[in-house]
Structure 1
């Protein structure tokens, strides 16, 4: 395989386009911590760190889940399953991405560097939890929810109330849409002994839990904006985001999961970007 094709396979393996879920929240933390004036070099290092840790986590997930992905009809076209990328190459990629993440944290400040190994460990554990507990969705939420904390401490190395509120908002936001996404694999999870909320509680209850998660998300995002002293434009965007979350649940049901991809990818991608824009407007206007 030529280098360009290999690069494309790596991007597909880690779903590079899904960085849109995490990066805006890291930027939210950085802009709120700096009153809208983060240093360019800090933002550059923060971006490198976020891409590095996300790539590390996705590649680790793919390689440890290879035995399951090779059996699941939905995942049999993933590059590791098809042989476009080998497990050895994936492990090398994991080491490289982890090293890049640690170096970026070193360039930010001592607290970021101290927390770097913990962040890598937390992001890796998610891939193993689904073997033991349906709480894995909330752990994944916690992994992505480190984004606003990371953005904040990259600028101001301390934990603050607004950053923590956004943290919890993202925990439940991600858990909610990951529960929806995992509904596609309910029968497969049962057959191989993997755990998920849909597999454990059934589709109707899983969708109810997902709805509850997104109600909590809306509340946390509201409180985070209030605690951060953001102005009215943020709350206007917050209202739109809350409406989108409601719509997300209105287009799927236990009887019709045909729009899961729209709920998971399209709408949630818009939510993270919209909230970042809302924060910018809430700071500057």
Structure 2
């Protein structure tokens, strides 16, 4: 296989397109901390930290869940299982991504470097939680909730309420859509002793719990706007995001789960982008 095909397999393996879920929120934390656009070096190291952490997290997922994914019809065509991208290459890529992550955190400030080890623990822990608890969705939410706080800390080096509220919004947003995504694997998870909210409580209640998670997200975004002293333009962005969240749930029912991919990727991808754009416009108005 030539280098171009290996690179394509690598991006498929880490689902590069899903970067839109976390990166906009890291930039939001960074913009709010600066009250505008940050210095180039801060922007660069925050971007590299987020990209490398996400890459490491996805590769760890593929490596830790290798045996499980090999048995799941939905995941059997992943490049690491088809031979398009070898296990050894995945291990080497994980090590490289983690090295870049630690370097980026070190270059930002001492607190970011110390917390980078906490982030690594979360990246690893998430993949094991589903083996014993249905709270795995909230663990994934916590992993991605690091993004806005990380962007803020990269600028200030101190904790504060605005990024905390934004991180809570991300936590419940991600947990909500991960509950939806896990509906695809209910039968497989049950037969292999894996835990999730749909497995534990059934599909109908899982959809309701997901909806309540997204309601909490909307509330957190409203309070984030007040605490962060954001204005009308940001409010429009939050309203549009709330409409998209409502649309996401209107597309699904216990009897019809055929549009999970649209609900999961298309709609949730737009939520991060819209919120970033409208917050950016509000800050620079």
Deviation at 1:39?
0.8
Name the counterpart of 1:65. 65
| Structure 1 residues 198-277: aligned runs within 5 Å | 198-277=198-277
- Mapped to 2, the partners of 1:182 and 1:112 lie a distance apart of 32
- Mapped to 2, the partners of 1:166 and 1:157 lie a distance apart of 17
- Mapped to 1, the partners of 2:162 and 2:104 lie a distance apart of 24
- Deviation sequence 1:10-54 (CA, Å, 0-9, x none): 111110111111000000000000001311111111111101000
- Mapped to 1, the partners of 2:6 and 2:121 lie a distance apart of 27
- Mapped to 2, the partners of 1:156 and 1:64 lie a distance apart of 34
- Mapped to 2, the partners of 1:94 and 1:124 lie a distance apart of 12
Name the counterpart of 1:9. 9
Name the counterpart of 2:84. 84
- Mapped to 2, the partners of 1:159 and 1:124 lie a distance apart of 24
Secondary structure of the corresponding residue to residue 114 of structure 1: helix
Deviation at 1:81?
1.1
Deviation at 1:111?
1.0
| Structure 1 residues 37-116: aligned runs within 5 Å | 37-116=37-116
- Mapped to 1, the partners of 2:67 and 2:46 lie a distance apart of 34
Secondary structure of the corresponding residue to residue 71 of structure 2: coil
Name the counterpart of 2:160. 160
Q: CA RMSD in A?
A: 0.8
Deviation at 1:226?
1.0
Deviation at 1:159?
0.9
Name the counterpart of 1:130. 130
- Mapped to 1, the partners of 2:166 and 2:263 lie a distance apart of 21
Please give the TM-score of this superposition, normalised by the length of structure 2: 0.99
Instruction: Count how many residue pairs are aligned between Structure 1 and Structure 2.
Output: 285
Secondary structure of the corresponding residue to residue 74 of structure 2: helix
Please give the TM-score of this superposition, normalised by the length of structure 1: 0.99
- Mapped to 2, the partners of 1:167 and 1:82 lie a distance apart of 36
Deviation at 1:118?
1.1
Gaps of 5+ in 2: none
Deviation at 1:4?
1.3
